[in-house]
Amino acid sequence: MKKIITIVGARPQFIKAATLSRQFQILGVEELIIHTGQHFDTNMSDVFFDEMEIPKPAYQLEIHNLTHGAMTGRMLEGIEEILIKEKPDGVVVYGDTNSTLAGALAAAKLHIPLIHIEAGLRSFNMAMPEEINRILTDRISNVLFCPTATAVNNLKREGFDNIPVRIIKNGDVMQDAAMYYAAKAEQKSDVLKQIGLSKFILATIHRQENTDSTENLKNIIDGLNEINRQTPVVVPIHPRTRNILAQLNIIPEFKLIDPVGYFDMIMLLKSCQLVITDSGGVQKEAFFFGKHCITLREQTEWVELVENGFNILVGSDSKKLKDAFEFFKTKKSDFSINLYGKGKAAEIAAKEIVRL
């Protein structure tokens, strides 16, 4: 039997890992999960393991609230210890967090096959910590599972054809999760009753480039306030961002709610008129549930959403935000196009991993 160690630490990784965990169970793979603790409060962490039916982590490192260097270093030390003890046949990392990079470095230096799910994504913005993490992880991985043709092409342009690595386009495991959990969300979530709105726009703001810049944050809030005068805006907001708004005396006129679990997020996505976000994952989730998206960033890894007219990039420009809102009020799109694998990504990845 194969023994695989999966490393997770942040909300999107819990969701991605759930899809592969189910496939590992079907194939008889022994999986041990290391939770680095990067997201540590109940709303942002434990609840996802319960909701996703993911096996409880075999190891909890509880590393958080540190600088990038300190966090990555302590994670690397903790993960390395576990890998030496467990001697897995492979290590799976997801996405582009500090947990991803720490797990990748630990596996590579111990010569354990490293598998990167969601490889090849590029924003081409080296100011983003995530961009550094994903580039370095790709370079030291043995197997790269790419969600899109764009991701595969990014790797080829970087010379990966000349590197001894397997590149496999398998689709996006986040679409697997969206399709699998949509029915469960109907039964388990009461978030729509809580917000009391039948028509609304869903917005999320969390990236440092937006929350740590007073100008960017003020522009975004101004734009959302103006949109809210036409259609109610609902924002699940992290306590840190809420505190920043209070400190800067920036007053949102729209509805702020506490961070939500995945099932609540699904229901908000399914029920909203439009999505406004600076999250990479939420851009795709909007598409999965047939919603147009306005992205509060200058670049996106999911260029196919922009190229096909599902997504508009506006940065923190309040005028561009309002113009995009007006444009999408009447836009009709065909969301049936197959951009992300139609729910088979985890199955393809798990079967390839078993063959390692």
Catalytic machinery residues: 206
CB 172 within 8 A of CB 147: yes
CA distance 183 to 108: 39
| E strand or H helix at 25 | helix 11-27
DSSP of 284-327, one letter per residue? HHHHHTT--EEESSS--S-HHHHHTTSEEE-TT-HHHHHHHHHH
Who's near 303: CB < 8 A, 6+ residues apart?
150
Q: What is the DSSP-derived secondary structure letter of residue 66?
A: S
CA distance 174 to 208: 23
CA distance 9 to 228: 34
Q: Please state the φ and ψ torsions of residue 6, each to the nearest 5 degrees.
A: -105, 135
Joined tokens for residue 256: 């702020």
CA distance 180 to 313: 29
Q: Please state the φ and ψ torsions of residue 202, each to the nearest 5 degrees.
A: -100, 130
Query: Tokens 């809102």 map to which residue?
Result: 325
Rg (CA), the chain: 20
Helices 262-271 and 280-288 sit at what angle, rounded to 10 degrees?
A: 60
Query: Tokens 């075999």 map to which residue?
Result: 58
**Closest C-alpha among 176, 230, 237, 179 to residue 210:** 237
Joined tokens for residue 171: 């689709």
CA distance 259 to 187: 19
